[in-house]
Structure 1
């Protein structure tokens, strides 16, 4: 059984990094899989439901902003992927990881740059991770509406940076990320 894993949320300046691990069923393929960044939100939502229904196994895990601060975004991403893989009810024979590094695992793994565009199982993981992270950012928007997380999902857009300057960081902002550091330095 081959497992694909990917993360969503390395670039934003707030919120968790979310990872998914997916083992697809070769007898029950999911049509239209691609890198989550190349799909519309509506298409990702639809595919997410289909992946959860048709995959043999899937799991989602994350690293929160405090962990990101403690170990940095790269290692937090690796930790989230490791947790997602370990949360699967079976041990895969091989793990395919999007990117150029593999998390610490007790199974064989291979890093594939651009794997979310070339490997169906990684694309599926990419979609699950992105959909879950976006949903979490909508929940954070309810707690901190002044930052408009519903619009930019915590990426460092001009509007988000403007709101960060105006209100200062909230508890889910990543204090080690440069835009947030700059605001904190001026408080």
Structure 2
């Protein structure tokens, strides 16, 4: 889909939720998803503010945009899949579960979901909602980009908090991802209960 097709779908199927996840490739911590419904009359404003793929934004810019998105959104919710769920079911299934948990909390419920990537939601928790997957959706679709920002800010804050509990892994800096320093810490002090064993045992 291109941007014009996405915008037409957002208008035709309103309210539409953009859905994205963060933390899929991390060694530590939960996978976090966000689902965001944006008002049609605020899309241009959010675009002008610079809402785009969270990976292209600085941490401070994401923080500012997170506030703007939450202030303007019709609905904005977070969903989480735990480390134990990731290890039990695999990261893809856990990511899709986190996305569905975010959607399930939305009020109102969307008439359509735009999902980042190429994997469709399985709808194990709620009645199926029509959905469209969008490859590189966080760069093409404003509501998916908004979800990517909200999820990233929430998870980064969570990692900073957990860094005070699980010391020695440099979590406040690496946000749970497998940097050289993080891997060295695991080799020296071992895994914490929040490390994904299905990831770290294979990759370190």
Aligned match of 2:5: none
Distance in 2 (alpha carbons) for counterparts of 1:111 and 1:93: 15
Distance in 1 (alpha carbons) for counterparts of 2:103 and 2:91: 18
Distance in 1 (alpha carbons) for counterparts of 2:67 and 2:133: 26
Aligned match of 1:51: 69
Query: Contact conserved, 1:173 with 1:180, CA < 8 A, in 2?
Result: no
- Residue 8 of structure 1: which of 16, 22, 29 is its match? 22
Alignment of 1:37-76 (within 5 A): 37-76=55-94
Aligned match of 2:4: none
Query: Contact conserved, 1:97 with 1:110, CA < 8 A, in 2?
Result: yes
Alignment of 1:25-174 (within 5 A): 25-29=39-43, 30=46, 31-105=49-123, 106-174=128-196
With the length of structure 1 as denominator, give the TM-score of the two structures: 0.94
Aligned match of 1:21: 35
Tell me the C-alpha RMSD between the 2 structures: 1.1
Aligned length: 182
Query: Contact conserved, 1:164 with 1:180, CA < 8 A, in 2?
Result: no
CA shift digits 1:127-186 (9 cap, x unpaired):
011111111111110101211100100111111101110110001000011x34466xxx
With the length of structure 2 as denominator, give the TM-score of the two structures: 0.87
Distance in 2 (alpha carbons) for counterparts of 1:119 and 1:28: 14
CA shift digits 1:31-58 (9 cap, x unpaired):
2111111110000010001100001111
Runs (5+) with no aligned partner, structure 1: none
Runs (5+) with no aligned partner, structure 2: 1-14
